[in-house]
Amino acid sequence: MGAAPQISIIMPSFRDARILDAIASVRAFDDIDAVRVVVIDGGSPEELVDRIATALGPCDILLSERDRGIFDALNKGLDRVTTPYLGWLGSDDFMTGEVLASDVVRALEDADLFIASTVMFSDDRVLRKTHAWPAAHGLARFGLHNPHYSTFGRTSLLGAERFVHGDIAADIDYFLRVFARRPRVAHTDRVALLMAAGGFSNNSVDRVVKVNRRVFAIYRRHGNMVAALLGIAVKTVYKVAGAGFYAARRRRWRDLFPRAAAFGRSAGGMAA
């Protein structure tokens, strides 16, 4: 890298070769040569770790050791960020190219958070879109925000909080604490990243029920019973309506985001 890094992108990963595409998408996102990739690997096989290391540059960071899950990995990433700004990207997700590093830096000159929209996908299909504007207008406490995805911010703000290990909804709790600090929020409806559907909190009906019960408890702790009930209801309606909209249209994400198509080659592939 020629310029001093200004943005760190924290990427937790474990036994997932798709991170190579994710890293490649960050390179395309970095139009100002100012992004540092921070890979927190949970102890993947040596062959995969070597491939990840080869994909990184001299200013990037790779930590490979056993951890206690994604929130532990995110905390380790936060501990290693020294740039003014940061963001996150999952190992099975990738940047669309619609939002670039220069857009983030420009927005954060006068704001504490910069939030873009996120599209969730499965295989070749768009499942739903999470818009940025609700979180930018104080509605994050009602669940209208995708925690840590398509969200960039000042390290002084995001680094001041940590994810609670062992809490299945630690990302919700983390961002409620971040928004409680009353940050200045800039937003765009452009889609910053494509997020693979599923994940540990959505891989079974039982897990979904547990997550929502925990989310309700978190909303109640940060507000009151009415706000908690409203938060769950609004979040559910928002998700169902979005899923219905795209199910009826059967849109292909490769058609909507042609720049990102180059980074979807290994979608669905896991390392052995």
pLDDT tens for 19-74 read 999 999 999 999 999 999 999 999 999 999 999 999 999 999 999 999 999 999 99
Residues 203-240: tens digit of each pLDDT: 455 766 787 788 778 777 777 677 667 767 777 787 78
Instruction: Tell me which architecture the domain covering 7-263 has in CATH.
Output: Alpha-Beta Complex (3.90)
- What pLDDT sits at residue 199? 56
Residue 117 — pLDDT band, cuts 50, 70, 90? very high
What pLDDT was estimated at residue 57? Answer: 95
Provide the pLDDT confidence category of residue 270 given band limits of 50, 70 and 90: very low
Residue of 29 and 242 predicted with greater confidence: 29
For residue 267, is pLDDT > 50? no
Q: What is the mean pLDDT of the chain?
A: 87
Percent of residues, the chain, with pLDDT higher than 70: 89
Res 73: pLDDT: 96
Q: Is the pLDDT of residue 2 over 60?
A: no
Least confident range from 154-158, 200-204, 243-247: namely: 200-204
Query: Which of 21-25, 87-91, 135-139, 264-268 comes out lowest in average pLDDT?
Result: 264-268
Q: Return the HEC string of the chain.
A: CCCCCCEEEEEEECCCCCHHHHHHHHHHHCCCCCEEEEEEECCCCHHHHHHHHHHCCCCCEEEECCCCCHHHHHHHHHHCCCCCEEEECCCCCEECCCCCHHHHHHHHCCCCEEEEEEEEEECCEEEEEECCHHHHCCCHHHCCCCCCCCEEEEHHHHCCCCCCCCCCCHHHHHHHHHHHCCCCEEEEEEEEEEEECCCCCCCCHHHHHHHHHHHHHHHHHHCCHHHHHHHHHHHHHHHHHHHHHHHHHCCEHHHHCHHHHHHCCCCCCCCC
Nearest-angstrom CA–CA distance, 54 and 61: 12
Any idea where the domains of the chain sit in the sequence?
Answer: 7-263
Segment 176-196, tens digit of pLDDT: 899 989 999 999 999 999 999
